[in-house]
Amino acid sequence: MTKELEHQFVSELEINQNIVHKVCSLYTDNREAHNDLFQEITIQLWKAYPKFRGDSKFSTWMYRVALNTAITLYRKSKKQPKTQAFDTVIYKVKAEQYDPTEEKQLNLMYSAIRELGDIDKALVFLYLEDKNYTEIADTLGISEVNARVKMSRIKTKLRTILNP
């Protein structure tokens, strides 16, 4: 029974692991920390898995557990270099799509997002994942209005960074 459950869980996570990787890439800035957080999220998911009844999609449930782990339960490792290794964090855009100005803009935005607080990051993340405000508000436990207000502030902030 446990073996079966375990197998089922691991295969579902394997299919949906992208979500966890994306959360890790926003909340950590080196490979080691990325793997650390990935592991912590995996453990939290596994612990909560028996309570997952399938009333929402596996991926929706994953968003919540992954973000909650990143902003509340995860202990950041002691060594946290302020500088970021760019090539490990910002995955390179494929050559044929390369556009120098756009690339520069995007990199600026990504580094601006990394400077945000944990909660703001979660907001931006859910936004980038194409979640609507109801879902964002529900995941973070704030009201929809607040989610909108906060998001528009973040947008303004990003705009000023891009057009100084």
Partner 1 sequence: MMDELDLLKKDWQRREQEMPRLTFEQIHRMIWKKSSSVVRWIFYISIIEFIAPHLLYLIPSFRSGMNYDVAGSLGIKVPLIILTVLQYAVALYFILQFYKRYREISVLDSAGNLMNRIIRTRKTVKNYVVFCLSMILVFFAVFIGGMVFSQDLMEALQLHPQGEVDPERLKWVVVGIMAVAGVVFTAVMGGIYFLLYGLLTRKLHQNYKDLRRMEA
Residues that bind partner 1 (CB under 8 A): 6, 9-11, 13-14, 17-18, 21-22, 25, 34, 38-40, 42-48, 51, 61, 64-65, 67-69, 71-76, 91-93, 97, 102, 105-106, 109-110, 117-120, 122, 124, 127-130, 138-143, 146, 150, 155, 158-159, 162
- The amino acid present at 104, given as its one-letter code, is K
Distances (CA, A) of 14 to 8, 10, 47, 63: 10, 6, 16, 15
Sign of CA dihedral 96, 102, 104, 106: negative
Nearer to partner 1, 132 or 143 (CB): 143
C-beta of 83: minimal distance to partner 1 in Å? Answer: 20
C-beta of 44: minimal distance to partner 1 in Å? Answer: 5
Nearer to partner 1, 48 or 133 (CB): 48
Q: Which of 92, 78, 86, 108 is closest to 30 using CA atoms?
A: 86
C-beta of 49: minimal distance to partner 1 in Å? Answer: 9
Distance CA(4)–CA(111), nearest Å, equals: 42
Q: Helices then strands (H, E): number in the chain?
A: 8, 0
**The tokens of 120 are what?**
């703001």
C-beta of 150: minimal distance to partner 1 in Å? Answer: 6
